[in-house]
Structure 1
Amino acid sequence: MSKVLITGMGIISAIGENLAENHESLRNARTGISKATHFESHYATLLPFGECKISNDKLKETLGLESSPGYTRTCLLAIKAFTEAIEDAQLSPDQLSSFDTVFISASTVGGMCLTDQLYKDANLRSDGSEYLDAYGCASHALKIINRFRIRGFSDTVNTACSSSANAIMLGARLIRSGRAKRAIVGGVDSLAKYTVNGFNALKILSESACKPFDEERDGLNLGEGAAYLVLESEETVGDKKVYAGVAGYGNGNDAHHPSAMSDDAIGAIRSMREAVESSRISFGEIGYVNAHGTGTRNNDEVELYGLSKLFKDIPPYSSTKSFTGHTLGAAGAVEAIYSVLSIVSSELYPSLNVQNPMSARPIAAFERNREITYALSNSFGFGGNCTSLVFGAVR
């Protein structure tokens, strides 16, 4: 099987509009969680969010889409991160259009970020807006496919919070099996009344900045963002810059509850075990865990339990959702990029806001000069869809 190498990364989140800005914020423990200024909702004045600081108008200007109709914020964020990733990997137009190049994206909200407009259009309370074909989960992916003339296999994944981790896993499997030479993988989600109202109904939104793995944790902060990685087979890369490799992956679905993980962490344990075993390494070789770490009572307790069952000593771990908020379908790709940055830069990024840590204390402060050969990134979705990825250094 061919090795899967990462040659490009692009990201936009609450802590930066590109890869460099995100990295700088991680190093300086600079959170992006604050009051929302672009998201219009009753809760925008009441709750903190991980909102991207750039406006839709500025995004359109940056992308040269000022006069192009039908682009939701989800589409704009996706194109911004996708463009950075393919430029970072130096992919040519011919490579993008090659049938050996696959594109797998992910989203949970999709075009439903325009909740009010969707309601009007669906109930014939409008004359038909410019967004009629933009409400689907795959609408952002179709915009990218048309804009960049992608002709190879494409797919859009929606498994809630594990969506873009599954996109990465699928892309890596296609390369390993020889079905593709390269894969552009990741995901996007933007803030929406649809999700904010839904999570609020579950009573799991915190009224303050989230504190994953704190005994006094009281919920999550919703965020938005987009992140994409370019994966290429070892034979295709040549002398190109390589960040790291996708060493392994695992998925388990315990189907325990629509929105809660099972107390015995069946899905989480299975996904982590499969990811490490498929990497052909021992659990002791994992030097960092980017935890799913939502800050809810259920998730953090179950995830720590699962880690304790697999590791003799839990490795250094943190939840970078304390920087970005929970970006839902984008979370797996956002945190994959942060895991790769940790490996490449020999750095550990903290869990912010933790005052009274749970039994196994997360990383408390930024640490440099920490050699990390393998990092594990967890993404656990609604319905018990749990995905874990292992990234490895390329020496």
Structure 2
Amino acid sequence: MKKRVLVTGMGIISAAGDNLTENFDSLHQARTGIGKAVHFRSRYADQLPFGECRPGNEMLKAWLGLEQSRGYTRTCLLASAAFEEAVRHAGLAPELISSPDTAFISASTVGGMCLTDQLYHDANLRSEGSEYLEAYGAAAHTMRLIERYRITGFTDTVNTACSSSANAILLGARLIASGRARRAIVGGVDSLAKYTVNGFNALKILSEEPCKPFDEFRDGLNLGEGAAYLVLEAEEDAASKTTYAEICGYGNSNDAFHPSAMSAEGTGAILSMQQAVRTAGIGFDEVSYVNAHGTGTPNNDEVELFALKSVFEKVPPFSSTKSYTGHTLGAAGAVEAIFSILSIMHSKLFPCLHLTRPIHEAPQPVAVLTSGVAVNYVLSNSFGFGGNCTSLLIGRVQQPVA
């Protein structure tokens, strides 16, 4: 029998706030975290806006008690901050974190390559070997957390571009639903890096202004950084705990169209949304809100709108919360899953920011904070380069059937 998967803890750090409370406050106040980067060193730091997390590396080390640590990249530090909040929020004792039936699945795209210049020097033997030699891989932050918390259960690191941490959540939920794990800590992290900024700049999709998803005059995205983790537990293990939402359904597909663009037909996006709703066992008309992928690029927003119109007879309220954080790449799926849960918990729909003129002759996104609405099911979309599309169906916790 398929087990219900409940969310018992959350942790997050993003440009919108250093923790769960601050992120919700920014959403509630319609306040963006996108602006001038302070810690990121690049020729583009003065030219482009970014969604940079407020604390510097030394502050993060002090928070985490890692002042004497070596080899911790910014990616490792951001992941540690969000992971620690998540397990504390869930009340997970150390012995449960390290239990063999606790899975840990993380995600990242840039990993330790946030130290782009140092990597170049180390790889080309222009240094004597820095403290970061073992930290450049996408899984380096995962290994740090495994070591620190003595994790012994199933572990994995996912890299499917911008859908990475959504797929980490999907995998963790499936492990629990099938009885292969009792709990799973799932999410992802990415930090700003020359590696990714230069790459996205070469694609000509970085905006010189704060991004405006689903706007007629949108001209690109803003890169951001952050980390987010959710603690998922089987229903019987969460019986005496506070639960915040249920992972009801999920879908993953690939339109196999282009390395960095979605097909005009939205094949992957349509299939992932349909699978998520159907595996949840609800009707399409029961979806209360869609947290859209909504990057603010001409291609993404147009195709996602087409896909939404194809899936839903009447498109539910939708918006993109990337206008608060920037596009956090491998962390985006988990960041936006948490934002979706906050929408359910507080009965609020968070608006697109910077919206001046919605796309002509298309469904209109949420433009102002909407409170007091029944948000029972949220569909959260994460669409990655290479066409990897993932949708999560997150629901309000229903009482168990007698």
Classify the TM-score, shorter chain: over 0.9
CA distance in 2 between partners of 1:286 and 1:238 (Å): 26
What corresponds to 2:210 in structure 1?
Answer: 209
The aligned length equals: 395
Question: Does the alignment pair 1:191 with 2:186?
Answer: no
Q: Spell out the pairing of 1:1-395 with structure 2 (5 A cutoff).
A: 1-358=2-359, 359-395=362-398
Tell me how far 1:144 sits from its aligned partner.
0.3
CA distance in 2 between partners of 1:33 and 1:237 (Å): 36
Q: What is the identity, as a one-letter code, of the residue corresponding to 1:386?
A: C
Gap runs ≥5 in structure 1: none
CA distance in 2 between partners of 1:130 and 1:251 (Å): 38
CA distance in 2 between partners of 1:351 and 1:60 (Å): 33
CA distance in 1 between partners of 2:322 and 2:197 (Å): 16
CA distance in 2 between partners of 1:29 and 1:238 (Å): 35
Q: What is the identity, as a one-letter code, of the residue corresponding to 1:65?
A: L
Tell me how far 1:313 sits from its aligned partner.
1.2
The SS at the match of 2:45 is helix
The SS at the match of 2:236 is helix
Q: What is the identity, as a one-letter code, of the residue corresponding to 1:197?
A: N
Q: What is the identity, as a one-letter code, of the residue corresponding to 1:376?
A: L
The SS at the match of 1:289 is strand
1:313-356 CA-to-partner distances (Å, cap 9, x unmatched) read: 11110000000000000000000000000001100100000111
Q: What is the identity, as a one-letter code, of the residue corresponding to 1:384?
A: G
CA distance in 2 between partners of 1:318 and 1:51 (Å): 21
The SS at the match of 1:170 is helix
Q: What is the identity, as a one-letter code, of the residue corresponding to 1:80?
A: A
Tell me how far 1:275 sits from its aligned partner.
0.1
Tell me how far 1:312 sits from its aligned partner.
1.2
The SS at the match of 2:172 is helix
Q: What is the identity, as a one-letter code, of the residue corresponding to 2:304?
A: E
The SS at the match of 1:6 is strand
Q: What is the identity, as a one-letter code, of the residue corresponding to 2:392?
A: L
CA distance in 1 between partners of 2:122 and 2:75 (Å): 18
CA distance in 1 between partners of 2:188 and 2:121 (Å): 27
CA distance in 2 between partners of 1:55 and 1:246 (Å): 33
1:219-239 CA-to-partner distances (Å, cap 9, x unmatched) read: 000000000000000011121
CA distance in 1 between partners of 2:113 and 2:152 (Å): 26
Cα RMSD, aligned residues only: 0.5
Tell me how far 1:260 sits from its aligned partner.
0.2
The SS at the match of 2:231 is strand
Q: What is the identity, as a one-letter code, of the residue corresponding to 1:353?
A: H
Tell me how far 1:83 sits from its aligned partner.
0.3
TM score, norm. by length of structure 1: 1.00
Q: What is the identity, as a one-letter code, of the residue corresponding to 2:377?
A: Y
Gap runs ≥5 in structure 2: none
Q: What is the identity, as a one-letter code, of the residue corresponding to 2:112?
A: G
TM score, norm. by length of structure 2: 0.98
Tell me how far 1:367 sits from its aligned partner.
1.2
Tell me how far 1:4 sits from its aligned partner.
0.2
Tell me how far 1:13 sits from its aligned partner.
0.1
CA distance in 2 between partners of 1:15 and 1:95 (Å): 30
- Structure 1 runs, 4 residues or longer, greater than 3 Å off: none
CA distance in 2 between partners of 1:238 and 1:194 (Å): 45
